[in-house]
Amino acid sequence: MIAPLEAELMLVSKWKHWVNESVAKMALAGLATSLMIGSPTLAQQAPPVPTPSTGSTVAQLNDPGITADQHLDRGLDFARAQRLPEAIASFQQSIRINPSLTLAHYNLGLAYRQSDRLQDAANSFYTATQVDPQFGLAYANLGAVLLEGGNPERALSYLDQGVRVSPALGILHYNRGLTLRELNRNRDALGAFQRAVQFNADSPEASFYLGLSYQEQNQPVEAKQSFERAIALNGNYAEAFYSLGSIQLQNQTWLDALESFKKSAEANRSYANAYYGAGLSFMALGNNEEAEQMFTYARDLFEYQSNQEWVNRSNSLLQQVSS
């Protein structure tokens, strides 16, 4: 019997923010997505499919003539239609008929994750790794869910297992990098993000976090290149524009920094850091009137977000530019 991951998740109030990697087409028409930094979606790039009718759902779940694979396909159809309770029921029925159907366990985990049932998601991903120990995506998602649930040590152990069986799967290295950062192992995280970019060069998030790691290791040239690569892949990446601006500010290229902070604010009007950075740039340029306006925007946003430390910092700079 496969042991469940009981008590693995210690839920925290501030949940991580994840992004999706491109959909991977699996056997039996299973469509798999992976968790990184936005909510995961199932079959997000699949072509349109007919939406199953609600009235026939219960009867079809209990129909002995429907195979495990057919229940799996129906679950995927329900998932694409964002009908998660029906998707979960279909995947569960598929597993009851064929407990060795890896993709049923895996997609059940994705459906649980979208339903914010982290413990159930972890159990399903774990079972998928036991049924198919070579299924790298299951390890990637298991690690992501455990990290989101506040258990980075256990997350890292499964991500390490995943890397051993799927060493070229970029999302495993990416999630491993996030986990190592959570454990304050920033030098090791740098190596993980380097491999994430190597195996998934189209991921703006991997490039962004690689840039943060370079910045933390006092390698500003490499950090700047990584942030620029992230922006080239996603022209609305507010955090990447902000981080690029922070390096330009450090290099005293004030106008370049101001432009980066402006683009950061345009990408996300609620991103308080962007206004704060713009205020520093205007302050360095001797334009205290504009600096005062930016610090005021930043302070009000920080206050709305209950970030008292940065409210205080903004007020301190407001006193300087208004005196």
Expressed in percent and rounded to 5, the helix, strand and coil fractions of the chain are: 65, 0, 30
240: helix, coil or strand? helix
**Phi/psi at 9 (nearest 5 deg)?**
-100, 125
Rounded CA-CA distance 140/129 in Å is 10
Give the residue among 320, 312, 245 at the shortest CA–CA distance from 277.
Answer: 245
CATH number for 242-323 (one of 3.40.50.2000, 1.25.40.10, 1.10.20.10, 3.40.350.10): it is 1.25.40.10
Domain extent listing, the chain: 15-44+51-166, 242-323
Instruction: Name the pTM for this structure.
Output: 0.81
pLDDT digit string (tens) for 174-226?
Answer: 999 999 999 999 999 999 999 999 999 999 999 999 999 999 999 999 999 99
The reply to whether domains 15-44+51-166 and 242-323 share a CATH topology is yes
Percent of the chain topping pLDDT 90: 79
Interatomic CA distance for residues 134 and 309, integer angstroms = 46
Half-sphere exposure of 5 (CA within 13 A, CB side): 26
Cβ–Cβ < 8 Å for 318, 292: yes
The values of phi and psi at residue 295, to 5°, are: -65, -30
- Taking the CA atoms of residue 266, residue 271, residue 274 and residue 276 in that order, the dihedral angle to the nearest 10 degrees is 140
Which residues pair with residue 24 across a beta bridge? 32
Name the residue among 146, 218, 211, 219 with its Cα closest to residue 183: 146
Query: Which region, left, alpha or beta, applies to residue 252 given φ > 0 means left and ψ of -120 to 50 means alpha?
Result: left
pLDDT digits (tens, 9 = 90+) for 38-75: 223 222 222 233 344 444 455 566 666 789 999 999 99
Looking at the predicted structure, is the pLDDT value of residue 255 above 70? yes
Q: Which listed CATH number (3.30.930.10, 1.10.357.10, 3.40.50.800, 1.25.40.10) goes with 15-44+51-166?
A: 1.25.40.10
Position 143, amino acid: G
Least confident among 53-57, 125-129, 189-193, 297-301? 53-57
Structure tokens that stand for 147 in this block = 């990290």
Q: Name the DSSP letter for residue 24.
A: E
Q: Which of 121, 118, 185 is nearest to 156 (CA)?
A: 185
**Which residue shows structure tokens 């454990």?**
183
